[in-house]
Amino acid sequence: MDELPGWAAGVDVDRPSAARMYDYALGGSHNFAADREATQAVIAAFPDGPLVARSNRLFLHRAVRFLAAEAGITQFLDLGSGVPTVGNVHEVAQGVNPQARVVYVDIDPVAVVHSRMLLADNPLATVLHADIREPASILGSSEVTGLLDLSRPTAVLMVTVLHFISDGDDPAGIIGAFRAATVPGSYLAVSHVTADERAEQVHGAGKVYESTPTGVTPRSRAAIADLLAGYDLVEPGLVYLPSWRPDEKHGGIDPLADDPSRAVALAAVGRR
Amino acid sequence: MERSLSPAARRRGVARFAQVWARAIVGASYPATGLVDVEERLLGLTERLVDALFGEPFAAEPAAAVGAVVAEHTFAAADALAATIRVCGARLLAELRLDADDELAGRVAALQGALAHGYTRALRERILAGQDSIHRAAHLATDARFRTIFNGAAIGIVLADAAGRIVDANDAFLRMLGVAPHRVHGRALHEFAHPEDAAGLRDAHAAQRLTGPAHLRTELRFAGPAGATVRAELTTSCLRRADGRGEVQLSMIVDVTERHRLQSELRRQARHDPLTGLPNRTVLAERVTELMSAEPDRRLGLCFIDLDGFKAVNDSLGHDVGDRLLVAVAGRLTGALAAGQLLVRMGGDEFVILLADTAGIDDVTATATAVLAALAEPVRVGDQALSIGASMGLVERPATDGDLADLLRAADITLYQAKDAGRGRWEVFDAERNARQVTRHTLSTMLPGAVEQDQFTVVYQPIVTLGEQSGVGGVGGVGGVMVGVEALVRWRHPRFGLLSPEAFIGLAEETGQIVLLGRRVLELACRQAARWRELCPDGVGAPYVSVNLTARQTREADLVDQVARILDETGLPARLLQLELTESALMSAAGEPMRALDDLAAMGVRIAIDDFGTGYSNLAYLRRLPVHTLKLAGPFVDGFGSAHQHDPDGEKIVRMLVELAHSLRLTVTAEGVETAAQAERLRQVDCDSAQGYLFAPPLPPGEITRRLRATPVGAPPAAPSTVSTLPAPRVKGAATSRFVS
Ligand SMILES: C[S@@+](CC[C@H](N)C(=O)[O-])C[C@H]1O[C@@H](n2cnc3c(N)ncnc32)[C@H](O)[C@@H]1O
């Protein structure tokens, strides 16, 4: 990516955006024709796409619930938060603890504005338009410093976002920067696309993303595990999405539960 | 319809159905919450469905509301609806442990229909709302982006409505003018312009809204923060409605104040001495040129100042002290200036004071006195008191005498005379002394080169009519019609400046250089006269040119050929050339009239006798010579003086001379006319034409051109009455050219 400021990249409703494609895959209506067309192309290459999206969203749901209810986390920094839909992080977290605070961060201007509209009345949640490749500008922003107290344990969420960061943009360095900014007892939740299995389908789907502002870089289990260095992974460790602490009662029924590797993404939650 | 269903059985049945339904929905869609919550919510909905199922009379509508709630709480909507319809059909009666008779099956089907209807309606609303909000978000994001660009822009941007009222202005504009946003909204852009530019901008903008142009580009001043003036480049674009009227005016304003400041600073630097801040040579040159090109009767004075003892200060105390001394002296000199005087630093320790419209040399000496007085007190530089004096060269003269270089040269020569005479004093330029200093020897060695290098220029003194009506409209009877000009040569000497003919003509005559020089002058004068003639339609009113010939020139064997060739080359009609000879030049060494004159006269060239009355004035030869004009020498004219110093005898002589000349069909031109009284008396004795400072000094050719252009075309060269009394074609041009003015 070049050095253009975010606003210069512009808002182009005629260009598919990863955020809105994800919304469409989940069944949402917050998307434009270009997003739907691109999503259909993804589905053509990879018919499980919508199910993976749902599976991922259920993992996010369970992870936040785990962090709020079991790990006692009250502060969330959601990086690559996307277009708000149902079961958003602040809804899940505040459902467990009404005092939970959430800062959403996304690079997609429409997703950010939409989030802002939705959160207008919620004093404990806010949204920041930023690029996670610039951790310092996020950590130093008034949104983060105003709402979160980083001297207390904080959960950093990087759910279905790290594969939008190419190796050249140093994902390990980015994670390291957020890790360094948080105190021990903080958590990191990650889900990440992998092509370890069904490589052809995953790469086929990845091609479609080349027309979006964010390309896709699937990584191997080992590479993803390396990115999590410095975190102690909670049970069950780094697993396919449906296998991470399934919880039908609170988290819904994962459509890929019977064959977790169809989810083509690995998930983990680690403690610093 | 009555069914045997105990409350407990119904409760159990409802709970069972809700569980099955929840699993079906949750598995098929992405719900907001987990199974537990969904089941809980579906429990209530199932109650409502069962109520409807057993309702008497039966109504399916309540199921529509149930469908709406389901739609609201599920996400992958189509899947959830399919699951719901399927579960209702397959499991509702079964979980209630009821047999599906026709009637019940019909009711279930009706409920399914209503449920689907309610679900779909709610879903449609939700999708539309979702589209609305994402479009709105995209719009806001685009808006935010443009606002970022708008406010991040380095140039001022202002948007005005169809009435020219500002609806939006960006940060750059507000910063540029130092105003708050609320002071801008609803007002017009011109209200912020500099008072002198406001009306113009208002009108231009109003016109643009009505008729165009689409883009307006101008440079103007705005009233900036704290009374400052902001110079700006303004581009206003007008967006039009279908009816052609301006709808929106978009103005872009670029602050060019700094650029202007730099430019004027550069301009100032080019015109000012950086050390003292005084104007420099360039400014002096401009001012002098200005004075020179003004009306000819303006005068100017120059005081050329050189500090005494400055070099000693510089050498002993260093450049720094020297520089500070110069700054201090500049301050003193500025203090000594009178209104309208210009002080210039020429470089080093030389300064010049220029005086415009001087009455005489006294004005300049008064300035010199003031300069000496200003420097009388020692000048303090740091803790030193430095005594500094000045030597000065003063010049005072008509502004049109020579150019700036001549003026400075004269002042400079005089300055050195002052230095030689002992410093701390001034000298006044003395033209004669200057001329004397220019030794014959140096000049004679330089003369040949000067002819080659074309160091000679020719100036022209108008010859005007004196006839009855000639004075009408002129100041004191001065405005006679210009019938001719006398060509007068000047030597623009690189070292001695502008030399008048006295200084070199005699020399040229002795050394023989006069031949080349004379030919050159004749060429220049004829070419110039030919140009003037072209200015006059059909040559009517074209002035003749009168060129002086020395004795030596008249004796040149090829004189006639030369004149013929020059006339041919320049295209000047012979009648517009007059040759002026002194009485002595008219005669050969043997006392015979020059043969060449006859040939020249035969060609049509006019012959004038110069300085008539100063030689032997052998009237007898006038009859035998092909002479057309007599030029009366200065002494005769002097005698005409004013009313108070009337010289009746002199007047009688002139009257007789004029009568004699007219009887011989000669015209008479009086030279050296300086007063209106002289002109009047000359007119009374019937003298035909005259020249002198009263009418005009010798002028550069451009000035003659200007006068010709200013004269109404076709103005008669002389008064008709005079013409009728004289048979000779004197109107056509007598030529009077002399090397001596
Ligand atoms: C697939 S969505 C994930 C949304 C949410 N985290 C979830 O898992 O449900 C990925 C999001 O990451 C955002 N994203 C991609 N690259 C990003 C970057 N460099 N900085 C910030 N956000 C980015 C995209 O705009 C998109 O909204």
Distance from the Cα of residue B95 to its chain's centroid: 100
If you average pLDDT over every residue of chain A, what do you get? 90
**Torsion of the alpha carbons at B344, B347, B352 and B356, rounded to the nearest 10:** -50
- pLDDT value at position B166? 92
DSSP letter (8 states) at residue A69: I
Residue of A nearest to B23 (CA): A253
Q: Is the pLDDT of residue B643 over 60?
A: no
Residue of A161, A210, A217 to mutate, ligand 1, most atoms within 8 A of C-beta: A161
Q: Is the pLDDT of residue A215 over 80?
A: no
Top-confidence range, A52-56, A119-123, A185-189, B67-71: A185-189
Residues 6+ apart with CB under 8 A from A21: A31, A35, A38, A39, A42, A212
**Residues 51-70, chain A, touching B (beta carbon < 8 A):** 54, 57-58, 61
Say if the Cβ atoms of B138 and A112 lie within 8 Å: no
Q: Which of B315-319, B388-392, B442-446 has the lowest mean pLDDT?
A: B442-446
Which residue minimizes the CA distance to atom 11 of ligand 1?
Answer: A80
Say if the Cβ atoms of A30 and B133 lie within 8 Å: yes
Residues 6+ apart with CB under 8 A from B702: none
> Is B277 within a domain?
no
Helix (H, G, I), strand (E, B) or coil at A12: coil
Tell whether A213 is within 8 A of chain B (Cβ).
no
Measured between CB atoms, which of B27, B77, B142 is closest to A11?
B142
> Is B436 within a domain?
no
Which residue minimizes the CA distance to atom 16 of ligand 1?
Answer: A164
Alpha-carbon span B503 to B491, nearest angstrom:
9
- pLDDT value at position B441? 61
Q: B407 and B292 in one domain?
A: yes
Hey, which residues does A271 pair with through a beta bridge?
A: A187, A232
Two structure tokens written together for B595:
């043969």
- pLDDT value at position B75? 62
Question: B425 CA distance to ligand 1 centroid (A)?
Answer: 91
Q: Is ligand 1 within 6 A of the CB of residue A56? A: yes
- Residues in A closer than 8 angstroms to B134, CB to CB, are 20, 29-32, 83, 110, 114
Q: Please state the rounded mean pLDDT for residues B283-302.
A: 84
Q: For residue B501, what pLDDT band results from cuts at 50, 70 and 90?
A: confident
> Is B357 within a domain?
yes
Name which residue leads in pLDDT, A205 or A214.
A205
Q: Is the pLDDT of residue B113 over 50?
A: yes
Q: Is the pLDDT of residue B692 over 70?
A: yes
Helix (H) or strand (E) holding B255: strand B246-255
Residue of A55, A76, A106 to mutate, ligand 1, most atoms within 8 A of C-beta: A106
Measured between CB atoms, which of B26, B134, B145 is closest to A109?
B145
Q: Please state the rounded mean pLDDT for residues B715-734.
A: 35
Alpha-carbon span B586 to B621, nearest angstrom:
10
> Is B732 within a domain?
no
Token pair 């009859």 in the structure block, residue: B623
Q: Of ligand 1's atoms, which has the minimum distance to the CA of residue A85?
A: 9
Say if the Cβ atoms of B34 and A247 lie within 8 Å: yes
B293-351, pLDDT tens digit by residue? 877 778 899 999 999 888 888 888 888 899 999 999 999 999 999 888 999 999 889 99
Q: Is the pLDDT of residue B243 over 50?
A: yes
Tell whether A250 is within 8 A of chain B (Cβ).
yes
The domain locations on chain A are 16-271
Q: B300 near B399, Cβ under 8 Å?
A: yes
CA distance A240 to chain B (A): 18
- Residues in A closer than 8 angstroms to B131, CB to CB, are 29-30
Q: Is ligand 1 within 6 A of the CB of residue A18? A: yes
Two structure tokens written together for A215:
């390309």
- Residues in A closer than 8 angstroms to B26, CB to CB, are 248, 252-253
Q: For residue B470, what pLDDT band results from cuts at 50, 70 and 90?
A: very low
Q: Is ligand 1 within 6 A of the CB of residue A80? A: yes
Alpha-carbon span B46 to B84, nearest angstrom:
11
Q: B243 near B307, Cβ under 8 Å?
A: no
- pLDDT value at position B32? 63
Question: A79 CA distance to ligand 1 centroid (A)?
Answer: 7
CB count in 10 Å sphere of residue B511: 17
Measured between CB atoms, which of A27, A91, A112 is closest to B30?
A27
CATH class of residue range A16-271: alpha beta
- pLDDT value at position A203? 87
Question: A40 CA distance to ligand 1 centroid (A)?
Answer: 19
Name which residue leads in pLDDT, A142 or B451.
A142
- Residues in A closer than 8 angstroms to B132, CB to CB, are none
CB count in 10 Å sphere of residue A147: 19
B175-193, pLDDT tens digit by residue? 998 888 888 999 999 999 9
In this structure, what CATH number is given to the domain that contains residue B529?
3.20.20.450
Two structure tokens written together for A24:
């469409």
Hey, which residues does B279 pair with through a beta bridge?
A: B272
Distances (CA, A) of B220 to B233, B319, B708: 7, 45, 41
Residue of B nearest to A250 (CA): B34
Query: Of all residues in chain B, what percent carry a pLDDT higher than 90?
Result: 35
- Residues in B closer than 8 angstroms to A31, CB to CB, are 134
Q: Which of B112-116, B416-420, B606-610 has the lowest mean pLDDT?
A: B416-420
Q: B448 and B398 in one domain?
A: no
Helix (H) or strand (E) holding B56: none
Q: B654 and B587 in one domain?
A: yes
Question: A17 CA distance to ligand 1 centroid (A)?
Answer: 10
- pLDDT value at position B214? 82
Q: Is the dihedral of CA B62, B65, B69, B71 positive or negative?
A: positive
Q: B148 and B118 in one domain?
A: no
* Optimal mutation site among B37, B119, B134, interface A, most CBs of chain A within 10 A: B134
Q: Is ligand 1 within 6 A of the CB of residue A64? A: no
Measured between CB atoms, which of B34, B128, B130 is closest to A28?
B130
- pLDDT value at position A159? 96
Specify the pTM: 0.55
| Domains identified in chain B, total number | 4
Query: Of all residues in chain B, what percent carry a pLDDT higher than 70?
Result: 87
Q: B179 near B193, Cβ under 8 Å?
A: no
- Residues in A closer than 8 angstroms to B140, CB to CB, are 113, 117
Side-chain half-sphere of B286: how many Cα atoms within 13 Å?
10
Let me know how long chain A is: 272
Q: For residue B30, what pLDDT band results from cuts at 50, 70 and 90?
A: low
Q: A135 near A174, Cβ under 8 Å?
A: yes
Question: A131 CA distance to ligand 1 centroid (A)?
Answer: 10
- pLDDT value at position B715? 47
Q: B465 and B384 in one domain?
A: no
> How many contacts does A have with B, using Cβ atoms within 8 A?
101
* Optimal mutation site among A21, A29, A89, A241, interface B, most CBs of chain B within 10 A: A29
**Residues 17-56, chain A, touching B (beta carbon < 8 A):** 20, 26-32, 50, 54
Question: How many angstroms separate the first and last alpha carbons of chain B?
Answer: 144
Q: Please state the rounded mean pLDDT for residues B199-212.
A: 87
Q: B171 and B106 in one domain?
A: no
Q: B162 and B111 in one domain?
A: no
Specify whether the backbone of B212 is left (phi greater than 0), alpha (psi in -120 to 50) or beta. Answer: left
Top-confidence range, A155-159, B414-418, B557-561: A155-159
Q: Is ligand 1 within 6 A of the CB of residue A107? A: yes
Q: Is ligand 1 within 6 A of the CB of residue A108? A: yes
Hey, which residues does B648 pair with through a beta bridge?
A: none
- pLDDT value at position A99? 96
Q: Please state the rounded mean pLDDT for residues B207-211.
A: 84
Q: Is the pLDDT of residue B121 over 80?
A: yes
Range of the domain at B65: 7-124
Q: Is the dihedral of CA B488, B494, B499, B504 positive or negative?
A: negative
Alpha-carbon span B346 to B288, nearest angstrom:
14
CA distance B27 to chain A (A): 5
Q: Which of B127-141, B176-190, B368-382, B504-518 has the lowest mean pLDDT?
A: B504-518
Q: B672 and B531 in one domain?
A: yes
- Residues in A closer than 8 angstroms to B75, CB to CB, are 26-28, 85-86
If you average pLDDT over every residue of chain B, what do you get? 83
Q: Is the pLDDT of residue B591 over 70?
A: no
Q: Is the pLDDT of residue B573 over 80?
A: yes
Distances (CA, A) of B328 to A165, B198, B317, B381, B423: 71, 44, 15, 8, 20
- pLDDT value at position B438? 62
Tell which residue, A267, A246, A237, A255, has the closest CA to residue A48.
A255
Which residue minimizes the CA distance to atom 5 of ligand 1?
Answer: A81
Which residue minimizes the CA distance to atom 12 of ligand 1?
Answer: A80
Question: How many angstroms separate the first and last alpha carbons of chain A?
Answer: 30
Helix (H, G, I), strand (E, B) or coil at B135: helix
Q: B176 and B61 in one domain?
A: no
DSSP letter (8 states) at residue B32: S
Residues 6+ apart with CB under 8 A from B58: B1, B52, B107, B110
Say if the Cβ atoms of B75 and A86 lie within 8 Å: yes
Q: Is ligand 1 within 6 A of the CB of residue A133? A: yes
Q: B411 and B544 in one domain?
A: no
Q: Is the dihedral of CA B708, B712, B716, B721 positive or negative?
A: negative
> Is B219 within a domain?
yes
Distance from the Cα of residue B93 to its chain's centroid: 100
- pLDDT value at position B644? 54
> Is B303 within a domain?
yes
Let me know how long chain B is: 741
Residue of A nearest to B73 (CA): A86
Tell whether A11 is within 8 A of chain B (Cβ).
yes
CA distance A41 to chain B (A): 19
Q: B564 and B533 in one domain?
A: yes
DSSP letter (8 states) at residue A228: T
Alpha-carbon span B113 to A87, nearest angstrom:
29
- pLDDT value at position B735? 36
Q: B654 and B586 in one domain?
A: yes
Q: Please state the rounded mean pLDDT for residues A120-144.
A: 94
Residue of A nearest to B19 (CA): A249
DSSP letter (8 states) at residue A70: I
- pLDDT value at position B719? 34
Question: A241 CA distance to ligand 1 centroid (A)?
Answer: 17
Q: Which of A82-96, B430-444, B667-681 has the lowest mean pLDDT?
A: B430-444
Hey, which residues does B482 pair with through a beta bridge?
A: B464
> Is B422 within a domain?
yes
Distance from the Cα of residue B345 to its chain's centroid: 25
Q: Please state the rounded mean pLDDT for residues B66-94.
A: 84
Distance from the Cα of residue B583 to its chain's centroid: 54
Residue of A nearest to B72 (CA): A86
Q: Is ligand 1 within 6 A of the CB of residue A19? A: yes
A226-237, pLDDT tens digit by residue? 999 999 999 999
In this structure, what CATH number is given to the domain that contains residue B385?
3.30.70.270
